[in-house]
């Protein structure tokens, strides 16, 4: 029990133990049948043929939807949740109480009562599949790993300068051309001269792939939030359809990292194109949210274009910088009119006047407060604590290549998610410029995602970092049994004493987000 991550809100031990032999039969009331079906697929469990089974799942409408109670006593295991999601999280806790692959084994479970509920409603992770395409099978595996840690949002960064990853039948060149780049940078983007591998890289998700991903996630109570980036970070789209670009020039899908100077045109034609795309995206993703990007958009091409100057006067905007917020705002209104909530990366220039929009401030805690003061609901995404593409050690010679920064395990765990008050939640980010393979993503994700999960699930006051660290060893053994690649715990540095590298180290690389 000491290895539960995230730690429940309240655990009460009682004298005695329950002995069960796997596979353990699971019975459920009608509303919890789906959770029982899922749990029966987990090694060590099976579906019961009678209602009086060792594990029983049910609903209790006195609980909040994601809250649950788990009881182990002489009668067996009973899990009740305020809704199926709560039952599911209780079942995840039971999984952690049981040894992996307990079929044929007799297991002793301590008598106990667990009362638990999440701190935040939005508990997410962003996976960048645009810089390096990740196969569908890994996305499904990643969803399982999120669910194990009681996270409930997978944000897919589907488009960027280096690749477009979503099939849009109305505009087939987005994947015929935009999903493939001629080469990938070797080494770090700061190294000179730049070298490339000469290997064509790409891939995309068909609409059937997306339906499978969305359905798979839904059975695990994970909402998939798609992101279609713009008006910056759009070179792959412009390579497919040059008329979308500010210069109308034929471009290649970008082979560098950073911020491409090529941005979207601001005409009604380009907006119409993106409205068409977003309509197809909304048809594929039934969740309530659609991310519109909106970060790191250079204005040089707009400033040099007389047509943009005329457009600014027509719109009554003060300068080119205001076009970023205007562009994202136009698409946000389109999404809102169709009953969805738009999400955007919050920069100074993207303060939208769209009441329904959710801001993701990423430039530290000060940005979160500014977004909140602008009247936005906020999902925290601070690069200072929640960028899992940053180095995990100050000794970079011993670490896999990363974009920069320093986010050790302790820093993730100590993230102060209380700022600003009223935040919807938080999410960690995995930008994949330097993660070409799924195992690279896993090693950068774990064990830091474990710390993040406790930050956004467990209600303050949380257990100490020392308590978390003590539970983590057993939890990592659980991940190892599932074949997860992770950074060994003995490689995790002691509490940080060196100063955090400045933001400009990342900003000059122009990553993050986007």
Residues 6+ apart with CB under 8 A from 486: 442, 443, 445, 446, 447, 476, 479, 480
Per-residue HEC secondary structure of 253-301 comes to CCCCCCCCCCCECCCHHHHHHHHHHHHHHHHHCCCCEEECCCCCCCCHH
- Of 66, 167, 229, 296, the active-site residue reads 296
**Angle CA 386–391–397, to nearest 5:** 175
Determine how many CB atoms are found less than 10 A away from the CB of residue 234. Answer: 30
The rounded distance, in Å, linking the Cα atoms of 52 and 37 is 16
289 near 310, Cβ under 8 Å? no
400 near 373, Cβ under 8 Å? no
Nearest to 135 by CA among 160, 155, 165: 165
The rounded distance, in Å, linking the Cα atoms of 71 and 114 is 6
Question: Active-site residue 296, yes or no?
Answer: yes
Buried b (16+ CB within 10 A) or exposed e, 27-39: bbeeebebbbebb
CA 64 to chain CA centroid, Å, is: 24
Q: 345: which 2 tokens?
A: 């990366």
The rounded distance, in Å, linking the Cα atoms of 200 and 423 is 42
| 372 SS3 class | helix
Phi, psi of 50 (to 5 degrees): -130, 150
The rounded distance, in Å, linking the Cα atoms of 161 and 132 is 11
What radius of gyration, in Å, describes the C-alpha atoms of the chain? 24
For tokens 């194990």, name the residue: 148
236 near 169, Cβ under 8 Å? no
Q: Which stretch of DSSP H or E encloses residue 361? A: strand 358-361
Q: 84: which 2 tokens?
A: 């199926």
| 66 SS3 class | coil
The rounded distance, in Å, linking the Cα atoms of 398 and 499 is 19
Side-chain half-sphere exposure of 150, counting CA atoms within 13 A? 35
Q: Label residue 297 exposed, middle or buried (CB < 10 Å: 0-12, 13-18, 19+).
A: buried
Catalytic residue numbers read: 296
């Amino acid at each position: 029990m000491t290895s539960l991550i995230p730690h429940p809100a309240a655990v009460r031990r009682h004298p005695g133990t329950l002995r069960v032999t796997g596979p353990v039969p699971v019975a459920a009331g009608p509303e919890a049948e789906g959770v029982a079906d899922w749990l029966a697929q987990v090694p060590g469990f099976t579906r019961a043929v009678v209602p009086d089974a060792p594990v029983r799942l049910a609903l209790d409408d006195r609980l909040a939807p994601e809250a649950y109670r788990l009881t182990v006593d002489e009668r067996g295991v009973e899990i009740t949740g305020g809704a199926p999601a709560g039952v599911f999280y209780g079942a995840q806790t039971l999984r952690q109480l049981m040894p992996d692959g307990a079929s044929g084994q007799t297991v002793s479970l301590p008598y106990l009562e667990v009362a638990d509920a999440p701190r935040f409603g939005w508990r997410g992770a962003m996976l960048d599949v645009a810089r390096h395409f990740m196969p569908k099978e890994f996305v499904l595996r990643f969803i399982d790993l999120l669910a194990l840690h009681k996270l409930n949002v997978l944000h897919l960064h589907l488009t960027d300068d280096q690749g477009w990853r979503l099939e849009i039948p109305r505009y087939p060149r987005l994947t015929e051309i935009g999903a493939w780049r001629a080469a990938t940078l070797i080494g770090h983007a700061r190294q000179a001269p730049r070298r490339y591998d000469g290997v064509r890289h790409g891939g995309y998700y068909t609409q059937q792939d997306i339906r499978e991903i969305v359905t798979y996630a839904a059975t695990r109570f994970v909402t998939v939030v798609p992101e279609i980036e713009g008006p910056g970070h759009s070179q792959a789209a412009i390579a497919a359809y040059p008329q979308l670009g500010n210069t109308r020039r034929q471009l290649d899908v970008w082979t560098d990292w950073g911020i491409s100077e090529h941005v979207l045109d601001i005409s009604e034609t380009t907006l119409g194109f993106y409205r068409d795309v977003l309509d197809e995206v909304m048809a594929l993703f039934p969740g309530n949210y659609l991310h519109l990007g909106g970060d790191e958009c250079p204005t040089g091409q707009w400033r040099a274009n007389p047509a943009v100057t005329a457009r600014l006067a027509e719109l009554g905007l003060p300068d080119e910088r205001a076009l970023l917020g205007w562009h994202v705002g136009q698409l946000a209104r389109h999404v809102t009119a169709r009953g969805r909530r738009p999400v955007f990366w919050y920069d100074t220039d993207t303060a939208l006047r769209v009441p329904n929009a959710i801001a993701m401030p990423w430039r530290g805690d000060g940005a979160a407060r500014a977004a909140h003061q602008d009247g936005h609901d906020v999902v925290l995404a601070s690069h200072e604590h929640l960028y899992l593409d940053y180095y995990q050690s100050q000794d970079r010679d011993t670490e896999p290549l990363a974009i920069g920064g320093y986010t050790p395990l302790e820093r993730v765990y100590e993230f102060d998610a209380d700022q600003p008050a009223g935040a919807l939640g938080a999410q960690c980010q995995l930008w994949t410029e330097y993660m070409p393979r799924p195992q690279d993503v896993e090693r950068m994700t774990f064990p830091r995602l474990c710390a993040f999960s406790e930050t956004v699930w467990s209600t303050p006051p949380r257990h100490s970092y020392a308590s978390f660290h003590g539970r983590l060893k057993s939890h990592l053994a659980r991940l190892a049994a599932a074949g997860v690649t992770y950074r060994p715990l003995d490689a995790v540095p002691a509490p940080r004493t060196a100063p955090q590298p400045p933001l400009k180290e990342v900003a000059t690389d122009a990553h993050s987000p986007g």
